[in-house]
Amino acid sequence: MDRLMIFSIAAALAFGGSATAQAPAGQQKSLSATLDVYVFPAEGQGGEQQSKDEAECYQWATGNSGVDPFELSKQTAAQQEQAVQKEAAVKQDTQGAGARGAVRGAAAGALIGEIASDDAGEGAAYGAAAGAIMARRRARSAQQQAGQQTQQQVAQVQAASSEQLANFKKAFSVCLEAKKYLVKY
């Protein structure tokens, strides 16, 4: 009987501990957990009261910080997508630049070759080669600049949104602390 009781206690502790560490299937995360803010009810507030307090503090923090974290994440994603699309448009615009440059160079080379040496064909060949090389260099440079601008824009957007989110979390935490919760983010 003693072994059975010891086994039952050990099993209850083992399974009970893991069940409380994870949210049960189908149960949603709390608002604070979604925001990566850890909240402990210092005065024994129940789960329903904590949810109510978190909702009130969310509204208060949104109003006082001017930031809604869920809208902020949507805006950040949209801004990053715009920057990536802009970079893709530049890459698309520069495709075929070598061929276009070769045509332009050939035309200019033919004209110069005709005037300088009465050999338009040779001038066109040299002009086509030079035009293709120059156009490819310009296109590569434009693509690199677009890539750098995209990286800078994304970094600026992320930095700004991180700062705004930090300000929101401060306001959210202050409100919850006033309602007698221990808060860490």
pLDDT at 183: 96
pLDDT at 10: 35
pLDDT at 12: 37
- 111 domain residue, yes or no: no
- 132 domain residue, yes or no: no
C-alpha span between 61 and 91 (Å, rounded) = 42
C-alpha span between 110 and 119 (Å, rounded) = 8
- 74 domain residue, yes or no: yes
Q: What is the reported pTM?
A: 0.58
Residue-wise pLDDT tens for the chain (185 aa)?
Answer: 444 333 333 333 333 333 333 455 556 788 999 999 999 999 999 999 999 999 999 999 999 999 999 998 888 888 888 878 887 777 776 676 666 666 676 666 665 665 666 666 776 776 777 777 777 788 778 778 877 887 887 788 888 889 999 999 999 999 999 999 999 98
Give the three-class secondary structure for 27.
coil
pLDDT at 15: 36
- 177 domain residue, yes or no: yes
- 179 domain residue, yes or no: yes
C-alpha span between 52 and 147 (Å, rounded) = 46
- 105 domain residue, yes or no: no
- 57 domain residue, yes or no: yes
pLDDT at 26: 56
Structure tokens at 98: 């070598």
Structural domain count, the chain: 1
pLDDT at 8: 37
Is the separation of the CB atoms in 102 and 131 below 8 Å?
yes
Nearest to 39 by CA among 27, 24, 56, 51: 51
Give the three-class secondary structure for 19.
helix
pLDDT at 33: 92
- 12 domain residue, yes or no: no
CB atoms within 10 A of CB 69: 21
Instruction: List the domain range (segments joined by +) for residue 144.
Output: 32-95+139-184
